Structure 1
Amino acid sequence: MTTIPPYAGIHHLQIPVSDLDRSIDWYGKVLGARRRGNVDHKPSDGPLFAVGLEVPGLGVGFELRLNPTAAAGMAGCGPLAIAVEDPADLDAWVEHLDALGVEHSPVLIGIIGWVLVVPDPDGIKLRIYTNANHNLERSQIQYHSPWLENGPFGRSGTTAAVGRISAVPGSADELESLLISLGAVARKEPGNLAYHVHRTADDPNEFVIYEEWSDPAAIEKREEAPGFAAFLEKAGPLIAGEPHVTSLVRQD
């Protein structure tokens, strides 16, 4: 067996985003992150594709990298958990987020401590976790809160739908942009476990949308989400024919 070479801790964290400016602003407001211009990723012959941020108290570097596909794939996952001491600190975070108008979960019971979940603009979940241990029975842990379930790995009984939408020829790129924006809204809705937009390989005018929700009531309410009516108004003239939707109920 070979000897594992030494390493010196974590150098930096990388989060994929679909819009650099939007995410720089969001992480700046929420975490007080400051841009480190000396580590901008911008080749002389190409556009800016990543930025480094300094996040007070984080202790490691933090990078936002432009990668809409990866950002969509990670929606619902929580790769970053920052620590606070106790529930009183979480209450202070709730006040901070409410003052900013930033969406967040209620204070939840995690496996060891209490946790607050804050989805970023792409639906990637920032978690704020207490060092304090709640010492509660495992039956009280909120395993199945939609705020704590990650991505498409929902439990048996979750409700999903697969929709097929065809674009009017010449309108596919515009429709794709609207669908991706709608997905960003849907992933922030209570009960959403996954929402992904696909463009079919054999027909660039056809899209397949996969969405998964914690229960039938949640999926029925998705059309009440902010921005859904505006999406229909803008997307209606771009859609050819009637969308086809198949509802699914997970069994395993």
Structure 2
Amino acid sequence: MPQLAGIDHLALTVRDLAVSAAFYERLFGFAPIGELEGEGLHRRLFRLPSGTNIGLTQHETPVDGDFSPFTPGLDHVGFGVADVATLREWAAHLDEQGIHHSGLVEAPYGTALSVKDPDGVALEFFVGA
């Protein structure tokens, strides 16, 4: 069977590229590495320290309504962190940026810190137990 090397990129559709790009720049603490203009779309690309790319895409065809994890497709995006201390650092960073978050939520399988982007996409910072 062919082997996978990991996730290269994740593309998220956004309603307003300028608003979402500004949110993710505050969230990640760095600017996008590039832009793409294609037929009917505009995209900004962020590269995480792990090498995974996050693309924010605004399509010219408008869509009504917010993201819902109950619609088939994406439920949430989970970012791995090293330990609970790093989760606490993320919580402090989110507070500094004025980004509302869940606080640390402990479960038997790990600890999470969750936020929502401007379109309602759930983002989770997570460390396993």
Give the TM-score of the pair, scaled to structure 1.
0.43
Question: What residue in structure 1 maps to residue 57 of structure 2?
Answer: 65
State the alpha-carbon separation in 1 of the partners of residues 65 and 8 from structure 2.
21
Residue 24 of structure 1 pairs with residue 18 of structure 2: no
* % identical aligned pairs: 30
The alignment covers a number of residue pairs equal to: 124
Preserved CA contact (<8 Å) 1:41 1:51 = no
Q: 2:47 aligned to 42, 54, 64, which one?
A: 54
Which residue identity is paired with 1:125? A
What is the correspondence of 1:27-106 to structure 2 with a 5 Å cutoff? 27-37=24-34, 39-43=35-39, 48-55=41-48, 57-67=49-59, 69=63, 72-74=66-68, 78-106=75-103
SS at match of 2:46: strand
Preserved CA contact (<8 Å) 2:105 2:111 = yes
Q: Which moved more, 1:13-22 or 1:105-114?
A: 105-114
Which is greater in Rg?
1
Structure 1 gaps, min length 5: 134-252
Preserved CA contact (<8 Å) 1:16 1:70 = no
| CA pair 99-42 structure 1, distance change in 2 beyond 3 A | same
Preserved CA contact (<8 Å) 2:32 2:45 = yes
Residue 10 of structure 1 and its aligned partner are, at CA, apart by 2.2
Preserved CA contact (<8 Å) 1:34 1:53 = yes
Question: What residue in structure 2 maps to residue 9 of structure 1?
Answer: 6
State the alpha-carbon separation in 2 of the partners of residues 82 and 8 from structure 1.
17
CA displacement 1:127-169 (0-9 Å, x = unmatched): 00013x1xxxxxxxxxxxxxxxxxxxxxxxxxxxxxxxxxxxx
State the alpha-carbon separation in 2 of the partners of residues 86 and 79 from structure 1.
20
State the alpha-carbon separation in 2 of the partners of residues 58 and 78 from structure 1.
22
Give the TM-score of the pair, scaled to structure 2.
0.78
What is the correspondence of 1:175-186 to structure 2 with a 5 Å cutoff? none
Residue 7 of structure 1 and its aligned partner are, at CA, apart by 4.5
Preserved CA contact (<8 Å) 2:8 2:51 = no
Q: Which has the higher contact order (CA 8 A, sep 6+)?
A: 2
Structure 2 gaps, min length 5: none
CA RMSD of aligned residues (A): 2.6
